[in-house]
Amino acid sequence: MRRVKPVLVWFRLDLRLSDHAPLWEAAREGGPVIPVYVWSPEEEAPWSPGGASRWWLHHSLTALDASLRAAGSRLIIRRGRVVKALADLVRETGAVTVYAHRRVEPAARQLEEEVVRAMSERGVKVRLWADSNLVDPDRVKTQSGEPFQVFTAFWRRCLALSDPPRPLPAPDRVPGPAVWPRGLSCERLELLPKPDWAAGLRATWRPGETAAGERLKRFLKDGWREYATRRDQPAEEGTSRLSPHLHFGEITPRQVWHAVREWAEGQGWNASRWRESAFLRELFWREFAGYLLWHFPHAVERPLRPEWERFPWREDAAGLRAWQRGRTGYPIVDAGMRELWHTGWMHNRVRMIVASFLVKDLRISWLEGARWFWDTLVDADLASNTMGWQWSAGCGVDAAPYFRVFHPVLQGQKFDPDGAYVRRWCPELARVPPEWIHRPFEAPPLLLEAAGVRLGRDYPEPVVSHAAARQAALAAWQSLRAGR
């Protein structure tokens, strides 16, 4: 029988119409559907969305509303506590069910529990789906029933599972209620920065489900084949740049998975070749991050290896500021930090280099880095950011060992050999020849002068000597190991 009472579809980090089980199910049932988004940053504190994420969210919500309107519906936006906002809507509309996706972040999970409790007190049923990830974290365990802590073992176990279900299409029509409850315009959430610093973001990105699908298509056509060889070269667009779209749920990992499958089958590839390809393997790093956060929620604030609580991090406001501004005197680090500031994104290789520089050369806590990334990345994602930082600091599971200190000059020379990436983001070094571009502080002064650079005036002197900082970092690590 056709449902007559409305269902609330509570949108969270799933800002799309296609492959959206709660929306699909609600529309399929045929009764009125009320799509809702509740802006409640305080309930996600201290990890409420940062500046770049807010910019993205504004545009993503706007795009979602437009898509819903094209399907005969609209997005009702409310602000304030989620439980209250949903309870108000239940009262105003007579809804008897709430459909939503589950999330993996600790505060979001707590919120879900509160919603389920509060709704059941009102006789409202809450149905939750877990489609933001390819695998259910509770289904994938080691033989002894523990969560995996090593990526390769986790990945292998996931590959042994059957393929994820095929993605759902978007509903053609989303039936609405006779009378719509009132909602806020997106502008009222004041997500856009004031003063407006988002020109670089606007020039780089187009948030929303349509743009996400187009980006995936373009990547499959132009980038996918070369991914394994080009993915470590920051000067090139060798990666998909799907991360913000995946974070905001404008596209799902299973849509990506099946698009890759279709493409590879079209090329006559056998299943193991595409299932184990470098690109899908990276997608499983995202899975691993969500999985770890699910099983170890304390990781957002505390090291996964408990002995790291005692690590002697340095307080260094000037060093932190130089790192944040891209003024460390190490060109590959500075280029990365400026790319981040300008576009809200940074290439993965460079994220690893700048993270190593902060936690090892400057010996500043990984949490400071995680917080800065949180505020400035358009793809800031609590699971991936936490894992990336703990991996870099050596205090996470399956992490890079602390004694393996990235050499910022050698990394630059290896992954940006002619300096194209550095020249793009540090234009003051544009005329420095390739031999010196990653170490201007060692270049003959006359040569630098000919390139229009005087250190300390046009480009900073190094804030630390890498060799000395490396020794100090290793000594700190030894003291941790010795339990001093």
* Binding positions for ligand FAD, rule: CB under 6 A: 231, 239-243, 246-247, 282-283, 285-286, 289, 348, 351-352, 355, 373, 377, 379-381, 384-385, 388-389, 392
Task: Tell me which of 237, 269, 313, 428 is the catalytic residue.
Answer: 313
Task: Tell me which of 43, 44, 236, 285 is the catalytic residue.
Answer: 285
Reply yes or no on whether 197 is catalytic.
no
Give the nearer residue to ligand FAD in terms of CB position, either 175 or 369.
Answer: 369
Could you list the residues known to form a binding site, using ranges: 227, 239-243, 279, 379-381
Task: Tell me which of 10, 282, 287, 339 is the catalytic residue.
Answer: 282
Give the nearer residue to ligand FAD in terms of CB position, either 224 or 436.
Answer: 224
Residue number of the CB closest to ligand FAD reads: 388
Reply yes or no on whether 285 is catalytic.
yes
Smallest gap from Cβ 406 to ligand FAD, in A, equals 11
Give the nearer residue to ligand FAD in terms of CB position, either 57 or 95.
Answer: 57
Task: Tell me which of 155, 224, 366, 372 is the catalytic residue.
Answer: 366
Reply yes or no on whether 55 is catalytic.
no
Smallest gap from Cβ 474 to ligand FAD, in A, equals 21
Give the nearer residue to ligand FAD in terms of CB position, either 375 or 458.
Answer: 375
Reply yes or no on whether 205 is catalytic.
no
Task: Tell me which of 129, 269, 348, 428 is the catalytic residue.
Answer: 348
Smallest gap from Cβ 236 to ligand FAD, in A, equals 11
Give the nearer residue to ligand FAD in terms of CB position, either 43 or 282.
Answer: 282
Q: SS3 letters for the chain?
A: CCCCCCEEEEECCCCCCCCCHHHHHHHHHCCCEEEEEEECHHHHCCCCCCHHHHHHHHHHHHHHHHHHHHCCCCCEEEECCHHHHHHHHHHHHCCCEEEEECCCCHHHHHHHHHHHHHHHHCCCEEEEECCCCCCCCCCCCCCCCCCCCCHHHHHHHHHHCCCCCCCCCCCCCCCCCCCCCCCCCHHHHCCCCCCCCCHHHHHHCCCCHHHHHHHHHHHHHHCCCCHHHHCCCCCCCCCCCCHHHHHCCCCCHHHHHHHHHHHHHHCCCCHHHHHCCHHHHHHHHHHHHHHHHHHCHHHHCCCCCHHHHHCCCCCCHHHHHHHHHCCCCCHHHHHHHHHHHHHCCCCHHHHHHHHHHHHHHCCCCHHHHHHHHHHHCCCCCHHHHHHHHHHHHCCCCCCCCCCCCCCHHHHHHHHCCCCHHHHHHCHHHCCCCHHHHCCHHHCCHHHHHHCCCCECCCECCCCCCHHHHHHHHHHHHHHHHCCC
Smallest gap from Cβ 231 to ligand FAD, in A, equals 5
Give the nearer residue to ligand FAD in terms of CB position, either 332 or 432.
Answer: 332
Reply yes or no on whether 282 is catalytic.
yes
Could you list the residues known to form a binding site for FAD, using ranges: 227, 239-243, 279, 379-381
Smallest gap from Cβ 58 to ligand FAD, in A, equals 19
Smallest gap from Cβ 16 to ligand FAD, in A, equals 15
Which residues form the catalytic set?
A: 282, 285, 313, 348, 366, 389
